[in-house]
Amino acid sequence: DQQVKQNSPSLSVQEGRISILNCDYTNSMFDYFLWYKKYPAEGPTFLISISSIKDKNEDGRFTVFLNKSAKHLSLHIVPSQPGDSAVYFCAAMGNSGGSNYKLTFGKGTLLTVNP
């Protein structure tokens, strides 16, 4: 049962344009959401997070939007740069019983930004 889903395995955009990465979740107990970026042979790097009490959080070129009613979040990168090319993981956490604060990850989206 995949509680966090990233339905697009890959995304390709031109440098300077907007990248939009999407994530859906099924567990209504999730209340904190994070995006991580991962390069090959490295650990996931934290990018940005959002609490369920907000619908938007912005940090420089990165903005995360949360639509709780649709159980959907998205990461916008504007403008996209070639160095943004990586795998992006959506993750969620919340009060889910015995493993309250574990992160549940999506399978990731490979973003390629073309010069």
CB atoms within 10 A of CB 82: 10
Cα-flanking dihedrals φ and ψ of residue 41, to 5°? 65, 15
Q: Rank residues 75 and 91 by Cβ distance to other proteins and give the closer one.
A: 91
CB atoms within 10 A of CB 27: 15
Distance of closest approach, residue 17 Cβ to other proteins, in angstroms:
28
Q: Rank residues 10 and 114 by Cβ distance to other proteins and give the closer one.
A: 10
Q: Rank residues 14 and 99 by Cβ distance to other proteins and give the closer one.
A: 99
Residues that bind other proteins (CB under 8 A): 31-32, 34, 36, 41-46, 49, 89, 91, 93-94, 98-108
Residue 100 half-sphere exposure toward CB, CA atoms < 13 A:
1
